[in-house]
Chains A and B, each alone.
Chain A
Amino acid sequence: MRAALIGLVALSACTGDVDEQWQLDHDRIIAVRATPPGILPGETSVLDGLYGSKGGRPVELAPQLAAVVSPERFQTALRRESGQWIVTAPDAAALAGARVELGLAADAPVPLQIGVSYADQTLLGVKTVYLGVSRQNPVLEDMLIDGAAPPQAEIVVPQLTDVPLSVKADEADIVNWLTSCGTMHDFDLPQAYLRVEKEDPQEGDLAVVLRKADGGIAWRVWPIRVQ
C-alpha cells in the first residue's frame, strides 16, 4: 500500500503525454451494450457497442467477432444473425446446472461472459449478459449541459469557459463524460465540466456513458463545437 501511495504521487507527475481516459479521439471500445442486459429462459438479447477511432466519430456498431467466454457449456447461446449478435437464454434446467457449476445460489442470475472484438481483433472486450433474470438498460435522466437540457442535434459551447455537465446517477453507478473537443474535468463524476482552451480541438464529439451495477448501460453522443 505504501508503494501504491508513492506510485500515485509518481503517476500524477507524468500523465501528460498519453491520451486521457475521457479522450474520444482514440481507437477504443467505448462501451458494449446488451439489450436487454438480463433475460429469462427463451428470451433474447442483442449485442452492440459504441466504437471510437482516432480521427473518426464514435459509431454504434455490432462487434466484428463475439464468443462465449464462460460458462463454456453455453457456447451455443450466442449466434450471429443478420449482422447482429444475439444471445438466447437457455432453458431453466440448463441454468440450474450452470448455477451448480458456478457455485451460485438456486435463484441467482447466471452471468454469461461474452468476448467481443473490433478493429480486426486489435480491440478486445468482454460484456456480461445475465441469464435467468429480467433486466432493462437505464435511461439517461436529468441531463443538463451548460445548465440546460441537451439539444437533439449539435452542442455549441463557448471557449475558455467552464461548461457544466450533469446527469442523474446513483452512488454505485459509473458515469463517464468523454469528448474530442476541449478538456474534460471530473470525467468520471455525474457532475463534470468541459473547458475548451485555445490550443484544444475546437470541434468534435461529446458523449456520456452510464453503467449500472446490474449490467445495464446507456449512452448518448452529440457533435460539439466552439461558438
Chain B
Amino acid sequence: MKLLHRTAVTLAMLGAGSALAQPQPEQPAPDQPATPAATVRVFGRVIDALGRPVRNATIRIEGQPDAKPIRTGRDGTFSIDAPIGATLVVEQKAFGVGLATVTGASVDDIVLLTESQLGETIEIDSEAPAVAPGAAQLDRKELQRIPGTGGDIVKALTAMPGVVNLQIPLGYSGVVIRGSSPQDSKVLIDDFEVPVLFHNVGFRAVTPAETIQSLDYIPGGFDVGYGRASSGIVSLTTRPGDEKRSAQAEISVIDGGLLAQGSIGAKTRYMAALRRSTIDFVLPSIIPDSVDLSLTTVPRYWDEQLRIDHEINKKWNLTISNVGTDDIFELYATKDEDAATKRFFNRTRFARLTAAARYKDGPWNAKLALSGLLQQFVFEAGLYQRIEVITPMVTPRADFTHTSEKAGGLTNVQWRFGGELQAGRAAVDIALPIEQREGETMAAYDPKDVSTKFNGNIWIADFTSWGSVSANLDRRIRGTVGVRTDYYGRGEELVVQPRGELKVQLTKPWQLRLAAGAYSRPPQYQSEFLQEGVQAEKSKQVIFGGQYEPRDGARVQASVYYTDRTDLITHNMDNSLGNNGRGTTTGAELLATYRGGPWFAWLSYSYSHSTRVDAPGAERRLFSFDQPHSANAAVSWQKGRWQLGGRFQLYSGLPYTPVMGSVFDNDRNLYIPLYADVNSERAPIHHQLDLRIDYSWKWGPTALTAFLDVQNVYLNESVVTYFYSYDFSQRIAFKSLPLIPSIGIRGVL
C-alpha cells in the first residue's frame, strides 16, 4: 500500500493556464517599506491530475526571466533557491502553467493540468516518495528499456540491487531478496498478493509490462502498510487507461497479446489486455522424435488484465482491477499415452478482482478496498502422487491518512491507520513425499512415496492492523514511527511489529535515511498450512542509506543493512514442522541511475552474506540463495526511430550441496544419495552481455515497434548447478542458458 498524503491543494482554472491557489503570505501594508525577503532552499514536487510525477518541468521564479530555470527530476521533485513570498512558475509543454507561492522550505505538490482538464476545480491525491532506503521504482517504459529482459518484469527485477540473480526464477514469487528464500518476499499487484508471478513456460511474468504503470522495489525497511513478508516487497501497479482510445498488439516467439484502452465519458477510463503463449505452437515441432515424450496437452498459458478508473465525484474515485492467469500442461515421459505411471499434469490458475475506492476531503485521505482471489493448483505425477488446492479468499482493507500542518510543535504531521482481513478456505487433497525445505537435500525420487497425505478443508483467517505517525522534527528531519500487528489465525499467533524511520535532508543533493523494524511472514507455503501450531517466521531489519542527487535525472543511493531472522520453519526429527531455525543477513547495496535526454543508465551492485542455523546446536550454513556479489550495468540510448541498449551482468554462483555417493535400495529400486555438508560448495561466477534494439515507425495510422533482445551475446556458459545420474555416480553441469534471442513486434492503433 502506497503511503498517500494529501496535497491539500485546490485548483482554480484561470483562462489558458492553471493556477495553484496556495495560502498567501501576509502582505506588508502599503505604507510600510518592504523588507528584503529571506531566500530559502525550497523543495517541492510537480504532479499531474492523477498524482503522477511530472518530469522535466521547468521551474523559474516570477520576475526573474534571466535566471536559468531548473527542471524537475524523474520523480517530479525539484529544489530551488527562492525568496519567501516569491511565485514559482512551472511549465511543461504537455500541460498548462502552474504557479506556487513560496511560504517556507517546502511547497505543496504543484499540480499541472492538461488543456482538457482546464475549467475544472479538482483536488488531487499523490503518492509519497520512496518508502524506504534502498527502494527503487521503474516505470513501464524503463522496464521495457532494460536489455536482456525481453521487456519482462520478472527478468527486469534481476537488475535491482539485492535481488538474487537466477538463471531461471524459482519459488512462488520468483524473486529472492537479500539472500533469504523466495517465500520471504511478497509480490503485490495493485496492493494485493498474487500467488504466482511467472508462467511455467518461458518464465514470463503473469502481467506483461505493457499493462504495468510502475514497479516499486522495496528490499526491506518497508512501512507498516506492508506486511506478511520478512524480506522485501515488489509492488506492481497496473496501468490506468489513457484518455485517448487506442489498441495495440504485440507478438513474439514466446507469446502474443492485445491491449485496448481509452475513456468512456469524461470520468471513466479503461484498460483491458489479454495474452496467450505462442511457444506451444512450435514446441512439438522442435522436440526430436527420439525423445520418449508425449505432449498430450502442450504447455501453454493465458493471462488477462483489466482496469477501470472512474471518478465518482470530487471526493471519491473508484478503481476496479483484475488479473488472471491459466497455465496447463500434460505430458507422458513415454510415447505410450496409456502409461499412467509416466503421466505428469499441472494446472495453475488464479483470478484476483479488486475494487478500490479512494476518498479525499480536507486533511483526510482514505483508501477502501475489497479484493477477491480464486486460485487452483493441480499437480499429478504418476499413479500415486498428486496435489490439488482450491482457495477462494476475500480481503477487505481500509487505510486512512490525516495530515495536519502543525501538531504538538511538529509540522506536516501525518497520521495513518488501517486494517486488513484475509479470510478464505483452502480445499486440499494432497498425496506427496515429504517436502524439501530450504537447504534440505533432495531425497531419492520414489514415485510411490506419499508420506504427506491430507484431504480436507483449511480455514484461513488472518487479521492485520497498523498505525503510524510521521512528522517533520526539524526543517530537514522527518521521522516516522508505527506499529503493525498481524494475527495469524492458523497458528493462533499475534505478532507485534514496531517500525520506524528517520530521514535527514542534509543539503540539496544529500539525504540520509535510517530505518528499523520487525517483520513477519505467515506459515502459508508448501505444507506449512497443513500443520496447526506452526508460527510465523520473523525478522528484524536495520537499514542505513544515503542518497545523492548531483543533478536533475542523476541519483546515487547506497545502503547497508543487517537482518536477523528467527523462528524459521524447519523439519523436526520426526518430519513435523517447527520454528527452530534462525539466521542473519548482512549486506550493502549501491544503485546509480541517470535519466537525461536520450539516455537511460543503470548501475547496481550488491554484496550479501546470508547464513542460518536450522536447529539449536546445528552448524551454521549458507542460505541456498546466498549470492555475495551481483552487479548490473545497463545503458539505453534513444533517438528518432531507434533505441539501442546494452546490459552487462556479473554475479556469484549459488551454493549447492555435493553428493559423495549413494546406497542402492533394492526393493524400491532407487538410489539414496549421501550428501556432503549442506551448501558447502558454490557454482562459479557468471557474467553475460545482453543487447536490445528497438525500431519504431508508422504504418498508416499504426505505430509499430520491432524489437530484438538478445541475452548472453558472447555465449558465456557458466555452471549454474549440477544434476546427477540415477545412481549419483556421474554428474552433469547445468549451464547457463546459451544465446537467447527474443524478437517481436508491437503495434499501436
Contacts and interface: CB of A to CB of B under 8 A. Distances in A.
A72 B726 CA distance: 30
Given A1-B432, A124-B661, A171-B383, A18 B725 contact: yes
A32 interface: yes
B336 interface: yes
Contact of B669 (A6, A11, A174, A186): A174
B292 A186 contact: yes
A23 B664 CA distance: 16
Contact of A123 (B170, B344, B664, B725): B664
A29 B713 CA distance: 45
Contact of A27 (B170, B342, B729): B729
B661 A215 contact: no
B379 interface: yes
A69 to B, nearest CB: 10
Contact of A189 (B334, B383, B387): B334
Could you say which of B341, B665, B667 has the most chain A C-beta atoms within 10 Å of its C-beta? B667
B481 to A, nearest CB: 38
Interface string A125-166: 111100000000000000000000000000000000000000
Given A5-B200, A21-B726, A186-B292, A125 B667 contact: no
Contacts of A101: none
B312 interface: no
A186 B379 contact: no
A225 interface: no
A78 interface: no
A188 B344 CA distance: 16
B732 interface: yes
Interface in A1-42: 1-3, 5-6, 8-12, 14-15, 17-21, 26-29, 31-32
B726 A29 contact: no
A191 interface: yes
Contact of B666 (A26, A125, A186): A125
A92 to B, nearest CB: 24
A57 interface: no
Interface in B360-398: 377, 379, 383, 387
Contacts of A26: 727, 729
A191 B669 contact: no
Interface residues of B, number: 43
B14 interface: no
A176 interface: yes
A153 B725 CA distance: 32
Contacts of A79: none
A26 B377 CA distance: 40
A191 B734 contact: no
A121 B345 CA distance: 40
B383 A19 contact: no
Contacts of A181: none
A28 B663 CA distance: 11
A224 B348 CA distance: 47
Nearest to A122: B661
A1 B662 CA distance: 24
B731 interface: yes
A29 B344 contact: no
A117 B344 CA distance: 35
A17 B732 contact: yes
B731 A2 contact: no
Contacts of A215: 667
Interface string A45-88: 00000000000000000000000000000000000000000000
A162 to B, nearest CB: 10
B168 interface: yes
B453 to A, nearest CB: 15
A217 interface: yes
A185 interface: yes
Category for how many chain A residues contact B: 35 or more
Contact of A15 (B346, B387, B732): B732
Interface string B656-684: 00000111111111000000000000000
Interface in A187-202: 188-189, 191
Given A5-B379, A189-B341, A19 B725 contact: yes
B730 interface: yes
Contacts of B407: none
Contacts of A123: 664
A128 B665 CA distance: 9
B294 to A, nearest CB: 11
B669 A176 contact: yes
Contact of A28 (B339, B387, B727): B727
Contact of A6 (B170, B334, B336, B666): B170
A17 B341 CA distance: 25
B734 A125 contact: no
B666 A32 contact: yes
A102 to B, nearest CB: 16
Interface string B694-733: 0000000000000000000000000000011111011110
A133 to B, nearest CB: 15
A115 B664 CA distance: 9
Contacts of A183: 290
A2 B432 contact: no
B621 interface: no
B11 to A, nearest CB: 49
Nearest to A216: B667
B334 A186 contact: yes
B344 A8 contact: yes
Contacts of B730: 18-19
A32 B669 CA distance: 10
B488 interface: no
B342 A14 contact: no
Given A1-B379, A1-B387, A124-B663, A14 B734 contact: yes
B50 to A, nearest CB: 36
Could you say which of A10, A32, A183, A191 has the most chain B C-beta atoms within 10 Å of its C-beta? A10
Contact of B734 (A10, A31, A217): A10
20 contacts: A2-B200, A3-B171, A11-B723, A12-B293, A14-B732, A26-B727, A29-B664, A115-B663, A123-B664, A124-B661, A124-B664, A125-B663, A125-B664, A171-B383, A174-B668, A176-B669, A186-B339, A189-B336, A189-B342, A211-B669
Given A6-B168, A183-B290, A191-B336, 8 more contacts: A1-B379, A15-B723, A18-B724, A21-B726, A26-B729, A123-B664, A189-B342, A211-B666
List the 7 closest pairs (A to B, CB-CB), nearest first. A125-B664, A18-B725, A21-B726, A32-B666, A18-B730, A124-B663, A127-B666
Interface of A: 1-3, 5-6, 8-12, 14-15, 17-21, 26-29, 31-32, 115, 123-128, 171, 174, 176, 183, 185-186, 188-189, 191, 211, 215, 217
Interface of B: 168, 170-172, 196, 200, 290, 292-293, 334-336, 339, 341-342, 344, 346, 348, 377, 379, 383, 387, 432, 526, 661-669, 723-727, 729-732, 734
